[in-house]
Structures are given as C-alpha cells and as structure tokens.
C-alpha cells in the first residue's frame, strides 16, 4: 500500500506564521506538523509516499529530503498552479498503481488508520472517507452515512441552519487507483466538492469510516494554539522529544536556572535557556534555542525557534514565530500573533488579538492596538442575520467601519457605484462617513442618499443602477448598537456566499490599492425619498383608495418612520392618527417591549372606536404588523400568511420560508400556483424571489410601507375590512419556541434527532431537521448567531402543536445533557 501526503497548502488563515513558510512546515512541539503524518504512516507499514507540493516547495524538500531519516521513501510532485485536492493527487498518477491512502500534511491526528484500511477492504470500496465527530462542524464538510457505512450525503462548510450531523470529513481517504480516471488531468478538481459528489451520483462504492481519537485540522491560529494545549494535556498520542521532569518536558541541551520558576505542563525546546528570576507558566511551549531573560514572565505562550524574551518582558497567551525579539518590559497579550523575525521594542505593548506580519519593528514605548500591515483576526463572523452588527465605538469604531468599506470596495469591481444612506441618528452619520472613506479608497464611486428609510435605500440601489447599497442605522432603545445592512444591485440582502467573500477580504485585509487620481468624488442623490414615494404611489390605484377614505391608526418604531408613512397615507386620502406622534423612541430596531407597547396602544384605540385599521411599522420600515378594529394583531407568520392569501394568486410561483405552517401552502392548492420553500434567512427568501422573477413579491416582503399601500388597495378594490380577510385565513395550529443549546452541542442535537427518526437527508433538504409525526410536524433549526435552537410545530390542533414543541424541547435537553467524551477538536 502507498500513500499521498498533500503538502501544497498556503495556509492563508495561519498568517503571519505562514507568510514565509508552507503550512505543513509550521512547527508543533518543535517539529513540522507534516513530520507527525509521516510517522503515523510508517507505523502502519507504509513507506512509499508521494508528497504533493505547490507553495514554497523548497522548504519541504530541504527539510525532509528523500525521507530516509524517517524510514520512508519520499517522491515529490510539484504543481505549477494549485490543482485542488483531487487534482494534486492526479498529478502523482504514475506513482499510484495500488491501493493508497491520502492524508493531509497540515493536520494532526493519532487515528488508528489500520482500522480504516481494514474497513475499506471489507467493503470492497472504491473510496473510503475517514470521518470523525466534532462539537462545532461549521468549518468542515459534513457527511451522512447509511448503517452500512455507505455515504448518503455531503455538505461543505454549512451554516448552523444547514447542519444535519456532527460527523465530518477529516480529509483522510483510502482510494483504489481506478478512482484517478474520474479526475481530469491538469484541472482544478476537489475531492469533497466535485469528485465524491460525482461518485455518489453515479452510485459508485463510496463509504465512510468513523474513527475515534484525536484529530485537528490546524486551519487557523486559534487551532494552532489549541493543538499545543491538547498535547500538553495528554490528549494526543504522539511522541514528545526530551526528558520529562514531572509535567515539564526538557529538550536536549536546554538549561533552566535553579532561580527560575517553571510550572507544567510545559515544554522547553533543545538548547533553550531560562535565566534566573524568569517565570515560565503552565501551557507554555518554547521552540529550539530560545532565551527567556531575567525577570521575564511567559504564560500560556507558544514560540518558534530562536526567540528572545527580554528582561521583565510579559507575554501572555500569545504565539511567536521564529526569531521574534521581545525587548525589556515589553508586553504581548492574549491572542496576539507575532510573525517571524519581528521586534517589539522596549516597553512597547501589543494588545490582545493583534497580528504583526514578519520583519516588523514596533518602536519603543508604542502601544499597538491594530494589526500591523495585515490582519487575520479570527473572531465572530463579520456578517450576521440582517447584515453587520456591533456596539458603536467598540466593534463598530470609525476605523473598523472604514476597513469594512475597504473590504466591500475590494469585493466590488473597480469603478463600481455604491449608494449609502442612514437613519436620523448622528452616530449613523459618523459610521456612514467612515464607510464612505473606506469605499472611496478602493476606487469605488459613492452616491449618498442621505437620511432615508431602509426600503428607500433598497429602492435606490435598484433604480439608480448601482452595484451595491449600504444602510447605516442605530439599533435598540439605548442606541448603543449599530447595523450596516448591505444590499446587492437588486436591493436584496447580500447572499451569504457573497458575504463570505467580503469577510475573507476583511479578515486578511487584502484591500485593493488605487492611485490618488482614481479616487472618485462622492455624489449626492437628491430627493431620493420623494422619488421612492412617487414610484410606490404609481404602483397602486390611488383614486380607489382615496374614495374609500380609510381611518388609520399609525405607529412605528420611531417618529421619522411614522412621519414618512403618514405623508404617504395623506396623499392617499386616509385619515391618520399617529399613536406614537409624541414618543421619543430611538431609530432602528425596536425592542420586543416597545413593539408590544405600541401594538397595545393601537389595539386600545381601535377597540374604543370600533372603526379603522391599525398599522405598525418596524425593523427600519421593512416589516409591518396589522391590527383590526376588534384588536386582533397580525404579525410575523400570520402576516406572511395574510400576504399569501391576498396576493399569492397573482404570482406564478410563491416563495415562503421553510418554517411557515403547511396550512399556508395548502391554501394555494388548486389555484395553479407553484410553492417553493426556502431557507429561513431573509437573504435566502429575497434571492429566491428575485431569481424567480417575482419582483412584486419581493417588494411586498421587504417593504412594509409598500405592503401597507397594497393591502389598503386590496381592501378598497373588494370593499372589505381587514377583519373580513383575517376571518378567511387558513387556521394556523402552530407553535414556536427557542431553547438554549450550547454551540458545541448543536451538531449532536441535529444528528441524534435525525438518527432517532431514521431520516435519510436528501438533496432537497434545506436546513435543520424536520420531524414528521402522525399528528403534525416539528422543525428544529439551529440559530446562526446565538446558542439556541428554534422549534416550530404544526398539528391538527393548537394543543397538539404545543405538546409537540414541549416534547422536542425536552428531547433536545436530554441530548445536550448526555455525557459524551471525545478527544476530537
């Protein structure tokens, strides 16, 4: 049997450690991580090994040579350009004339690979994927298998909503040479994205073998740091060079002064020295030839070879590359990463999370608050549901917002046009100015829509032929949070796949540079709100609405929003009473408490009058809640059901989110409309509507002001009251609830629920897990942004729907409380 070690990785997410070093050469406990892969293969008797190379190949060749030092024969195959995982293996086809195993040169594992080999042979498989179970599967490829081990489904790097298992692809494969005929030569081709799905479609012999043990894909600096802690904790079965004294490993030739303090578990590399008065705390790793000078204090830190930590320097929870020089009384703190041969001057301070690229000099006494040159900060995702959110002057500082602008501008083509707008709060204007600076720095033309509503910004992005739009607004009653809503050229929320492209640019800070003469002057879009109002009024029968003389009780999350709606209603001849006219409410998302208070006011006013209709606008004007004269409130799922009932028959295809009750879909049966379910996120629903050519449906969904106008038009055309339309809505025996689920338990919860029901998830599976029951159904959907799962249930009665929700909430709690131990990270 032969092997292939894939060692072409550039390791961009490991920068600055990989700026001058290929990813397989990154040291783990003073050895290149690829060395552990060679040792593991040698242990199961594999000595003939191909090594695929692409990024800085000479580093790997110079270190490993012909492999004889490790008892193996290495054969190198270089790629001119990256060919993808399968393409790189295809490049070694002339060597692969028997069953072979493919392993990654930049992952660390102690799997018993011999078990996988036996599994492969027993199944007579064409391909066997080595699988394992992880707590957080978002960064990996999920794999669902049948009881026999046959692979049923793949999904690459899902969102929490798409997670259907916690079983992931480790990138270790056992393959027969015949598989190479499925890989085109000299072509970029990937195992998990292209080859394996093709084999699955063709019903070829592809299996998955789940192994226990330790496995870590060292994909970023956090995982690089964690793998050292795991080794020191004894979670990985590998050999550590050096003598052991208690919980401290000491390499050959290392010297520790009797007047120094060293606490374990820790590792001191060969030839390193710890001088008197120095302190080396637990979970610290010193590479070969490091010097910790007098009075220096090192805690939970990983260093490369040849680092110097000067007198009274303090290094806490950091990663240092090769030859890093930390001068007297300098400080480097949690999460900081210092690239090779950089120098931190005396009394300088590198704040938590900062990354410094190789060969940089931090001047004496300087405090470094931001990454130097490039930033690879790995925190939460930049985008969440509804765009980018953060605390003003904390996550969303002017500096960070300008960088967001630069990332977005780099994502767009040179010379692109972006429209920006804000709500009426001064902090939003500040963020818009910072964003504009970043956009302009990349050669993008910025068109300023000024103060406007979010639906107005969406309208401007589409109507004025822009490439993109950004709306800056303040959220919540205290005004501490802000939100940047990014929309595409159609005015719809940017799809997640495009958000990820912007995030990648933001994380790496690989911004486009343009000469000063290509920086374009900002333009102003005059009277954009008036243009929007005229366009929307032209889409309804204003005369019919005027003749009806509606009496409207109007409220909104802020006076600017209600004022704009009142002006539109006035032009439609409505008699308007602004319930929140004197309220001093903050712009942006209103809290549930404020929404409830406003709706209570509307209900009271309408019940007292027994006449009219109530409108409540929120979420920047995107959303609408309705109140009839009997005080019944229609919002969220019932509101979408109402829109479908009123207007669904006007569309060829009706798009609704996955969680919406089946009764809504059933109400359209027999009318010739096609109903398509989408993922639950707003961007998925918007994208589906626009891709299907349903522009009017998109406008109704994304614009509460326009939806209110169309509802009034419908009532006028058919001489009906809102309560008449509510009475004919399909009965929704529907219940929903959130239950807390820790991030590390989400994948397990979805997998267990699916397994207990015997579900084989098919290609039309969207997200979460839908559990059918004789009395109804339940959808369990992991939240993308919070440690919760949402439970939606529908049944033949409201009581049964609530009982189903209660049942699955208890089931989820039981799964979360299981004592599951694993060494997988």
The domain limits of the chain are: 2-217, 240-368, 388-531, 543-727, 734-817
Would you state the pLDDT for residue 273?
Answer: 94
The pTM for the full model equals 0.67
Residues 6+ apart with CB under 8 A from 101: 1, 2, 3, 4, 41, 46, 113, 116, 117, 172, 173, 174, 175
Q: Identical fold at 388-531 and 543-727?
A: yes
What Cα–Cα distance (Å) separates residue 195 from each residue in 30, 53, 184, 626, 800?
A: 36, 20, 10, 51, 45
- Rounded Cα distance between 417 and 460, Å, is 12
In b/e form, how buried is each residue of 503-522, taking b as 16+ CB within 10 angstroms? bebbbbbebbebeeeeeeee
Tally Cβ neighbours within 10 Å of residue 544.
14
Q: Tell me if 84 sits within 8 A of 102, measured CB to CB.
A: no
Going through 586-714 in order, the beta strands assigned E by DSSP cover 613-618, 623-627, 633-634, 653-657, 674-678
User: In CATH, which of 2.30.42.10, 2.160.10.10, 3.90.79.10, 3.40.50.2020 is domain 240-368?
Assistant: 2.160.10.10
Q: Tell me if 509 sits within 8 A of 403, measured CB to CB.
A: yes
Sign of CA pseudo-dihedral 341, 345, 347, 349? negative
- Rounded Cα distance between 638 and 540, Å, is 23
pLDDT digits (tens, 9 = 90+) for 369-380: 777 754 323 333
Would you state the pLDDT for residue 529?
Answer: 94
- Token pair belonging to 388: 């980018």
Taking 70 as the pLDDT cut, the residues of the chain under it are 137-139, 156-165, 373-381, 507-508, 580-595, 758-765, 819-825
Residues 6+ apart with CB under 8 A from 796: 733, 775, 776
What is the DSSP track for 146-209?
Answer: -TTSBEEEEEES--GGG---SEEEEEEEEE-GGGGGGS-TTS---IIIIIHHHHHHTT--EEEE
The β-bridge relationship of strands 788-795 and 734-740 is: antiparallel
- Rounded Cα distance between 123 and 33, Å, is 31
CA 405 to chain centre: 19
Helix (H, G, I), strand (E, B) or coil at 346: coil
DSSP bridge pairs for 625: 616
Q: Tell me if 792 sits within 8 A of 781, measured CB to CB.
A: yes
**Count, residues in the chain:** 825
The β-bridge relationship of strands 319-320 and 302-303 is: parallel
- Domain 2-217 is found in CATH 3.90.550.10: yes
Q: Verify cis geometry, omega within 30 degrees of 0, for the bond prior to 16.
A: yes
Helices 528-537 + 454-463 axis angle, to 10? 80
- Rounded Cα distance between 296 and 333, Å, is 14
What Cα–Cα distance (Å) separates residue 149 from each residue in 144, 172, 293, 330, 625?
A: 9, 16, 56, 55, 50
- Rounded Cα distance between 558 and 554, Å, is 11
DSSP bridge pairs for 434: none
Would you state the pLDDT for residue 823?
Answer: 33
Q: What's the burial of 63, exposed, middle or buried (CB within 10 Å: 0-12/13-18/19+)?
A: middle
Helix (H, G, I), strand (E, B) or coil at 661: coil
CA neighbor of 568 nearest in space, from 403, 711, 681: 711
Superfamily (CATH) of domain 543-727? Alpha-D-Glucose-1,6-Bisphosphate, subunit A, domain 3 (3.40.120.10)
- Token pair belonging to 449: 């829509």
DSSP bridge pairs for 735: 793
In b/e form, how buried is each residue of 12-50, taking b as 16+ CB within 10 angstroms? bbbbbbbbbbbbbbbbbbbbbbbbbbbebbbeeebbbbb
Q: What's the burial of 557, exposed, middle or buried (CB within 10 Å: 0-12/13-18/19+)?
A: buried
Q: Tell me if 249 sits within 8 A of 240, measured CB to CB.
A: yes
- Rounded Cα distance between 220 and 136, Å, is 15
User: On the CB side of 313, how many CA atoms lie within 13 Å of its CA?
Assistant: 31
- Residue 413's φ and ψ, nearest 5 degrees, are -70, 155
| Fold (CATH) for 388-531 | Alpha-D-Glucose-1,6-Bisphosphate; Chain A, domain 3 (3.40.120)
CA torsion 404-410-414-418 (nearest 10°) is -30
CA 323 to chain centre: 34
CA neighbor of 63 nearest in space, from 105, 103, 104, 95: 105
Would you state the pLDDT for residue 134?
Answer: 81
DSSP bridge pairs for 76: 51
Residues 6+ apart with CB under 8 A from 708: 565, 615, 617, 624
- Token pair belonging to 151: 């692979």
User: On the CB side of 613, how many CA atoms lie within 13 Å of its CA?
Assistant: 25
Q: Tell me if 361 sits within 8 A of 373, measured CB to CB.
A: no
Tally Cβ neighbours within 10 Å of residue 435.
27
Helix (H, G, I), strand (E, B) or coil at 825: coil
Helix (H, G, I), strand (E, B) or coil at 664: helix
Would you state the pLDDT for residue 582?
Answer: 38
Q: What is the DSSP letter of 335?
A: T
- Residue 580's φ and ψ, nearest 5 degrees, are -100, 25
Question: Which long-range CB contacts under 8 A does 795-804 form with residues at least 24 apart?
Answer: 795/733, 796/733, 797/733, 798/733, 798/734, 798/735, 800/733, 800/775, 800/776, 801/733, 801/734, 801/735, 801/776, 802/735, 804/735, 804/773, 804/775, 804/776, 804/777, 804/778
The β-bridge relationship of strands 167-175 and 127-133 is: antiparallel
- Token pair belonging to 77: 């195959």
- Rounded Cα distance between 725 and 251, Å, is 80
| Fold (CATH) for 734-817 | TATA-Binding Protein (3.30.310)
């Amino acid at each position: 049997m032969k092997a292939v070690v894939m060692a072409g990785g550039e390791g961009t997410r490991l920068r600055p450690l990989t700026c001058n070093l290929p990813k397989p050469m990154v040291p783990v406990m003073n050895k290149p991580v690829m060395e552990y892969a060679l040792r593991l293969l040698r242990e199961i008797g594999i000595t003939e090994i191909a090594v695929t190379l692409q990024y800085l190949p000479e580093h790997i060749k110079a270190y490993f040579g012909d492999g004889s030092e490790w008892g193996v024969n290495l054969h190198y195959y270089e790629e001119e350009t990256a060919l993808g995982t399968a393409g790189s293996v295809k490049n070694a086809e002339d060597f692969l004339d028997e069953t072979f195993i493919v392993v990654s040169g930049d992952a660390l594992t102690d799997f018993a690979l011999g078990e996988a080999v036996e599994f492969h042979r027993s199944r007579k498989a064409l391909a066997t994927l080595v699988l394992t179970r992880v707590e957080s599967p978002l960064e990996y490829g999920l794999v669902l298998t049948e009881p026999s081990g046959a692979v049923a489904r793949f999904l690459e790097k899902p969102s929490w909503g798409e997670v259907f298992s916690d079983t992931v692809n480790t990138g270790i494969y056992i393959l027969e040479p015949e598989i190479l005929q499925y890989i085109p030569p000299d072509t970029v081709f990937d195992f998990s994205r292209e080859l394996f799905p093709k084999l699955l479609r063709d019903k070829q012999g592809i299996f998955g073998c789940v192994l226990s043990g330790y496995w870590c894909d060292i994909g970023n600096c956090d995982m690089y740091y964690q793998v050292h802690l795991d080794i020191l904790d004894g979670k990985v079965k590998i050999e550590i060079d050096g003598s052991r004294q208690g919980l401290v490993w000491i390499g050959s030739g290392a010297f520790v002064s009797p007047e120094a303090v060293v606490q374990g578990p820790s590792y001191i590399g060969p030839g390193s020295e710890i001088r008197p008065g120095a302190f080396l705390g637990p979970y610290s790793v010193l590479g070969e030839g490091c010097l910790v000078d007098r009075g220096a204090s090192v805690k939970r830190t990983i260093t490369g070879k040849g680092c110097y930590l000067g007198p009274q320097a303090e290094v806490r929870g950091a990663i240092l590359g090769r030859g890093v020089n930390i001068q007297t009384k300098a400080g480097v703190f949690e999460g900081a990463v210092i690239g090779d041969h950089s120098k931190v001057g005396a009394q300088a301070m590198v704040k938590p999370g900062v990354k410094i690229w190789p060969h940089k000099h931090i001047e004496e006494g300087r405090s470094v608050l931001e990454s130097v040159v490039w930033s690879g900060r790995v925190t939460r995702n930049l985008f969440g549901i509804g765009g980018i959110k953060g605390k003003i002057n904390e996550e969303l500082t002017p500096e960070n917002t300008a960088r967001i602008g630069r990332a977005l501008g780099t994502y767009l083509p040179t010379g692109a046009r972006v429209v920006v707008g804000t709500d009426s709060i001064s902090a939003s204007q500040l963020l818009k100015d910072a964003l504009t600076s970043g956009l302009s720095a990349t050669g993008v033309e910025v068109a300023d829509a000024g103060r406007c509503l979010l639906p107005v910004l969406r309208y401007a992005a589409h109507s004025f032929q822009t490439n993109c739009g950004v709306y800056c607004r303040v959220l919540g009653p205290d005004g501490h949070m802000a939100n940047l809503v990014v929309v595409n050229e159609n005015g719809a929320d940017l799809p997640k796949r495009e958000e990820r492209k912007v995030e990648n640019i933001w994380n790496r800070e690989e911004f486009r540079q343009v000469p000063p003469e290509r920086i374009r002057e900002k333009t102003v879009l005059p009277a954009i709100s008036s243009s929007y109002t005229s366009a929307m009024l032209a889409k309804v029968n204003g005369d019919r609405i005027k003749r009806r003389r509606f009496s409207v009780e109007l409220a909104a999350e802020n006076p600017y929003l209600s004022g704009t709606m009142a002006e539109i209603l006035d032009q439609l001849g409505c008699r308007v009473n602004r319930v929140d006219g004197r309220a001093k409410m903050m712009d942006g998302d209103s809290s549930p408490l404020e929404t409830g208070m406003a709706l209570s006011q509307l209900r009271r006013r309408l019940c007292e009058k027994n006449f009219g209709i109530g409108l409540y606008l929120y979420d920047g004007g995107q959303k609408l809640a309705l109140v009839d004269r009997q005080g019944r409130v229609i919002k969220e799922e019932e509101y979408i059901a109402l829109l479908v009932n009123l207007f669904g028959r006007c569309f060829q295809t009706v798009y609704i989110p996955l969680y919406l009750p089946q009764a809504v879909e059933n109400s359209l049966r027999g009318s010739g409309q096609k109903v398509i379910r989408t993922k639950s996120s707003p961007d998925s629903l918007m994208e589906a509507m626009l891709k299907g050519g349903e522009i009017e449906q998109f406008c109704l969904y994304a614009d509460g002001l326009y939806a209110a106008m169309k509802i009034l038009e419908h009532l006028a055309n058919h001489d009906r009251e809102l309560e008449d339309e509510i009475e004919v809505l399909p009965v929704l025996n529907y219940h929903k609830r959130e239950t807390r689920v820790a991030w590390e338990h989400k994948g397990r919860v979805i997998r267990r629920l699916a397994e207990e029901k015997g579900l084989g998830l098919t290609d039309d599976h969207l997200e979460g897990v839908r559990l059918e029951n004789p009395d109804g159904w339940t959808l369990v959907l992991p939240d993308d942004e919070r440690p919760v799962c949402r439970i939606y249930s529908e049944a033949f009665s409201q009581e049964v729907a609530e009982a189903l929700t209660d049942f699955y909430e208890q089931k989820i709690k039981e799964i979360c409380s299981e004592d599951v131990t694993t060494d997988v990270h």
